[in-house]
Amino acid sequence: MQKNISRLFVQPPPTGGFFESGEKVCKKDLNDQKLDTFYNRNIEGYQRENQMSSYSDSIRDEITGHFIAALEKGDIPWHRPWNGVNTLPHNWTTGKQYRGMFNPIFLMMVENARGFGDSRWGGKGQILKAGGRILRDEFSKPSKILAPILKPTGEVGPNGKPKLECRGWRVVKVWNAAQCEGVPVIEEVEPVDPSVGFEKAAALSAASGADIKHGGNVACYRPIEDNISLPKPGAFKSVSHYWSTHLHELGHWTGHQSRLSRKGITAGALGKTRETYAFEELVAEMSSAMLCHTLGIDAPELMEGHEAYINNWIRTLKSDPKALQRAGSQAQKAMDYLLKNVK
């Protein structure tokens, strides 16, 4: 038995009784069995804490990797031109928004990637207690976030409550409301008729024949299903923002193999590179910006959003000076395709 085993303890060894100090092993009247029990218990605790720390570190690194990959692809998960009802990820049993580190942004990324039309999340116990149930096929697909391990410092804060300090992080598994059944129906947004005052845009969309579904909290074009998903018009900051997003997704829609057949759409998830993704996003955003001007949707704050988005891709595509010219040409074709059937 080593004498200076105190270095391995998670907590400093107690003084007196069992240990006189961190350097003295034990009093003579303690038998080896008691010492071994205490030693093993502390070593196991030390190992468990190290394992938990390594696990939480691996989850943190995994979240960071997803975040970097999304930014490299051009996804900006916190940028949404619609309001909705509490669109930030929040616990649907407590109503509190998730905070700290990567948690809110990471859960928004999961919502976008999996097409969840809901920003409500919860742990298994919370969901069951509230009368919900995780769907069988979704039980093995939780999202992992990090929660702080808080312990009292022994001091009292100005509010009279004990001060807490973060001693580490623990991994928490949560599921989206879309992965459950028995969840209360989400609050509906106020109905808005987007065609009022935007008749030209509404006529263009109708003439396209695109399959457009409204609802949820995600705006995207899905090439495999060949359809567009949009939040309801009343969820957007303004009707102008609704049409800007609507036209952006229609821009993607024109790239289907049965229409203009752009590589950024036809390549599929496995064949799509960072460059083709960036190029396709630039085409869709440029076509949306040009269509907004053409159709008279010219709110100043809307155009600032387009310019910021396009400037970001200009920086990304500087390595290929001709890329912007090609994107502009493809955006023009997309706009012409959408305008050709408008009477």
Position 308 scores a pLDDT of: 55
pLDDT less than 70: residues of the chain: 1-57, 59-87, 100-101, 187-189, 269-272, 298-321
Cα distance between residue 27 and residue 285, in whole Å: 76
Phi, psi of 143 (to 5 degrees): -105, 140
Q: Per this entry, what is the length of the chain? A: 343
- Could you read off the pLDDT of 105-157 as tens digits, one per residue? 788 778 877 878 788 999 999 999 989 999 999 999 999 988 888 888 888 88
Position 134 scores a pLDDT of: 96
Token output for 225: 């299903």
Cα distance between residue 214 and residue 324, in whole Å: 32
Bridge partners for 166 per DSSP: 150
Contacts of 39 by beta carbon, 8 Å cutoff, 6+ apart: 1, 5
The closest of 337, 340, 338, 313 to 324, measured between CA atoms, is 313
Position 56 scores a pLDDT of: 60
The closest of 301, 198, 312 to 246, measured between CA atoms, is 198
DSSP 159-209: TSSEEEEEEEEEEEEEEEGGGEESPPPPPPPPP--TTTT-HHHHHHHHHHT
Overall pTM > 0.85: no
| Beta strands 227-230; 211-214: pairing state | parallel
- Could you read off the pLDDT of 36-66 as tens digits, one per residue? 444 444 444 444 444 445 656 676 666 666 6
Cα distance between residue 278 and residue 284, in whole Å: 10
Q: In whole angstroms, how far apart are CA 58 and each of 55, 198, 290? A: 5, 49, 44
DSSP code, position 214? E
Phi, psi of 327 (to 5 degrees): -65, -40
| Beta strands 162-176; 143-156: pairing state | antiparallel
